[in-house]
Amino acid sequence: MASKATSSRAAPGVPKPKREEPQGGLPRNYLRASLLLLIGEAPVHGYDLLEQIAGLGLHTVDAGGLYRALRVMEGDGLVASAWEHSASGPARRTYRLTVEGGEWLHVWAGALRETHRYLSSYLDRYDDIVRSPDAVLPNAELPDAELPDAMLPRAEVPK
């Protein structure tokens, strides 16, 4: 297998696993959590969020989904918005955090902190397996050989 399918699409040889989704192994509802954080840092509008949010791991955000999430969050009372008519370009809807949104940001941060700890545990155990001499694993971390690069959970796993 392997051959040469570096094209972000799944290799034809792979039977079923279509886990090359953009969000790979990011937390559930991470979009919501990220939006709360960014809006909590400073009031922003959607298009700005669309560009900033890549820095939190959401590289290929669906713009529509982001705007939809914002409207839903406003409906839930987590954020509030106001139109801002700039001299250049279309009007922009600027969001700010509500009190309840702030509470939820705290809650989310707590949950993500716990997730962070569990991931540390997961990765430690994984490293133990890989380093283990009596590796149960069929083939341990081949430096740069057979591992099919087209079936990644996320599009790319840099660094």
Partner DNA sequence: GCCAGATAGGTGTAGGGTACACATACCCAA
Partner DNA sequence: TTGGGTATGTGTACCCTACACCTATCTGGC
Q: How many CB atoms lie within 10 A of CB 30?
A: 17
Contacted entry of a copy of itself, DNA, none for residue 12, CB cut-off 5 to 8 Å set by kind = none
Among 38, 61, 73, 97, binds DNA (CB under 7 A): 61
| Per-position x/- string for 30-59, each x denoting binding to DNA as judged by CB under 7 A, each - no binding | xxx------------xxxx-x---------
* Distance of closest approach, residue 133 Cβ to DNA, in angstroms: 29
Q: Which helix (H) or strand (E) holds 44?
A: strand 44-45
CA–CA separation, 156 and 154 (whole Å)? 5
CA proximity to 30, closest of 58, 49, 55: 58
Q: How many CA atoms lie within 13 A of 74 on its CB side?
A: 15
CA–CA separation, 36 and 59 (whole Å)? 17
Among 4, 12, 75, 86, binds DNA (CB under 7 A): 86
Q: Does residue 69 touch DNA according to CB under 7 A?
A: yes
Among 6, 11, 56, 143, binds a copy of itself (CB under 8 A): 56
Among 8, 65, 71, 126, binds a copy of itself (CB under 8 A): 126
| Per-position x/- string for 22-51, each x denoting binding to a copy of itself as judged by CB under 8 A, each - no binding | -xxxxxxxx--xx--x--xxxx--------
CA–CA separation, 20 and 148 (whole Å)? 12
CA–CA separation, 25 and 27 (whole Å)? 6
| Per-position x/- string for 88-127, each x denoting binding to DNA as judged by CB under 7 A, each - no binding | xxxxxxx---------------------------------
